[in-house]
Amino acid sequence: MIIGNKKFDTKNNVYIMGILNITPDSFSDGGKYDTLDQALFRAEKMIKDGASIIDIGGESTRPGHIQISDDEEINRVMPVLEKLKSNFDIPLSLDTYKSNVVLAVKDKIDLVNDIWGLKYDPKMASAIAKIGLPCCIMHNRNDSNYTNFWEEFISDINESINLARAAGIKDENIMIDGGVGFAKSYEQNLSVMNRTDELCNLGFPVLVATSKKRVIGTSTDKTVDQRTIGTVATTVVGVMKGASFIRVHDIDENWDAIKMTKCIMEEKKWIP
């Protein structure tokens, strides 16, 4: 998979997508990196610690978040994207579900990470296709009422894949995310993580995005700032079950976990 000017060997390697929230209200790090200097310093550290992609979010997507206007989101992300592009040679992902935002910053981004799997904004798929960007399509829906969770979950993802294809997005430009923490019960979130290999069987690179989420807090009885080790456990499971990308806040710890897991799986020193 090609993202920006980098080729990602999703069959053999695992890569970290570092989270950079430039928002005042994100559940884990709201307000910590919402100035240009803070964002730049954070990005530099993530790259040093092993991140291969930086995912920039201008609007919190936590459950119950307050939606902001397209213009406000553009004004938040544009200066950060410009600064990162001019200072670092690393692919930049934009965490947004709004086509107007994507089009406004199209020359500054290398990947679109859509938490609504192209279903919120009817113009999103065509906007991505027009620009020629790769995208990550996440599972999400308006409610958590399922008759048969796994069948409907896979059906929902296939609907998103079909939207992408219909708009002209090539298969090689698609990765998928099971959407842990979105429209799912505690047990359903665990199922999505445990069945990552079945997601991989759909034929697309899989992103695991569980960092510090509520499912980890429920499992460990830990607060958000104490969920790094729990997150590392989900990373190990994701790698063992075939995920190609891991989206996390704590780069260093998770990168060590990925390297050690791959060494064990391959029974030799893994060279990424």
CATH class of the 2-265 domain in this structure: alpha beta
The candidate with the shortest Cα–Cα distance to 57, out of 5, 92, 91, 13, is 92
Average pLDDT over residues 34-58: 92
- Give the start-end residues of each E strand in the chain: 2-3, 6-7, 15-21, 53-57, 92-95, 111-114, 135-138, 174-177, 206-208, 245-248
How far apart CA 97 and CA 250 sit, in angstroms, is: 24
Determine what percent of the chain is predicted with pLDDT higher than 90. Answer: 88
- To the query of whether residue 213 is one of the catalytic residues in this protein, the response is yes
Is pLDDT above 60 for 170?
yes
Q: From the candidates 42, 119, 247, 262, which is the catalytic residue?
A: 247
Determine what percent of the chain is predicted with pLDDT higher than 70. Answer: 94
Extents of the domains making up the chain: 2-265
Q: From the candidates 119, 213, 227, 262, which is the catalytic residue?
A: 213
* pLDDT, averaged across the chain: 94
Is pLDDT above 90 for 131?
yes
Task: Please tell me the predicted confidence (pLDDT) of residue 27.
Answer: 44
